Amino acid sequence: MYELPRLSYDYNALGKYISKDIMLLHHDKHHQAYVDKLNAALDTHPDLKKESLDGLLRSVNTLPDDVRIAVRNNGGGHYNHSLFWEWMSPDGGGEPSGKLADQLVEKYGDFQSFVDEFTAKALAVFGSGWVWLQPDLSIITTPNQDTPLMLGQPEPLLGLDVWEHAYYLDYKNKRDDYVQAWWNVVNWNFVQSRLDSQTSVK
Ligand code: MN
């Protein structure tokens, strides 16, 4: 059975950028619902419980018809949100350093140009979806709760939830204000650790 992961910080820790009200709604209600619906779907296919979540998502297109959409939406939702909480930190923001910073500058010219391109893609997502920084430092988007794994891509280094449920309470319809605020809480240490681990696997 999948479980809702605990936050590694308080619900109010992201302060003025992401409010306690949003964190409570987003984590305790939305993420919990993905977990509950994923578990309910797998109860109808106990054979799939042996698979890792990664494995289920990578092979989602070959799952049986009666469980595929539920795993896609709720398994994707659980995977994406489990990472999303870790991609934010009360100690986040600023700029990355070390190898990650060097590689971003090499690809985008400077850090702000990377931020601008990621932000532009976040604002261009029509409806609900996510924006991702991939290990090759490309920026991609997915609709709904789809993950890069479903596209045959490696695990993302960084992702941003641009569903309205992620910001509506604080920012109403102003996604651009939410994205600008979010950069102040990005946990670059976690992004760097993901780059390091992916590099070491190669
Ligand atoms: Mn969300």
**CATH number of this structure's domain 98-201, picked from the four choices 3.50.30.60, 3.30.2290.10, 3.55.40.20, 3.30.43.10:** 3.55.40.20
Q: Give the number of other Cβ atoms within 10 Å of residue 116's Cβ.
A: 12
Cα(163) to centroid(ligand 1), Å: 6
Cα(202) to centroid(ligand 1), Å: 31
Cα(109) to centroid(ligand 1), Å: 31
Cα(87) to centroid(ligand 1), Å: 13
SS3 state at 120: helix
User: What global pTM score does this model have?
Assistant: 0.96
**CATH number of this structure's domain 20-86, picked from the four choices 1.10.287.990, 1.10.645.10, 3.40.50.720, 1.10.3720.10:** 1.10.287.990
| Residue indicated by tokens 């090499």 | 106
Cα(106) to centroid(ligand 1), Å: 31
Backbone CA torsion sign across 52, 193, 18, 160 = negative
Cα(164) to centroid(ligand 1), Å: 8
Q: Where are the domains of the chain?
A: 20-86, 98-201
| Residue indicated by tokens 């409010």 | 19
Cα(167) to centroid(ligand 1), Å: 9
Token pair belonging to 120: 């532009």
Cα(100) to centroid(ligand 1), Å: 26
Cα(81) to centroid(ligand 1), Å: 6
Q: Distance between CA atoms of 9 and 173, rounded to whole angstroms?
A: 27
What pLDDT, on a 0 to 100 scale, did the predictor assign at position 202? 41
pLDDT by residue, tens only, the chain of 202 residues: 999 999 999 999 999 999 999 999 999 999 999 999 999 999 999 999 999 999 999 999 999 999 999 999 999 999 999 999 999 999 999 999 999 999 999 999 999 999 999 999 999 999 999 999 999 999 999 999 999 999 999 999 999 999 999 999 999 999 999 999 999 999 999 999 999 998 655 4
What pLDDT, on a 0 to 100 scale, did the predictor assign at position 31? 98
Contact 39, 58 (CB under 8 A): no
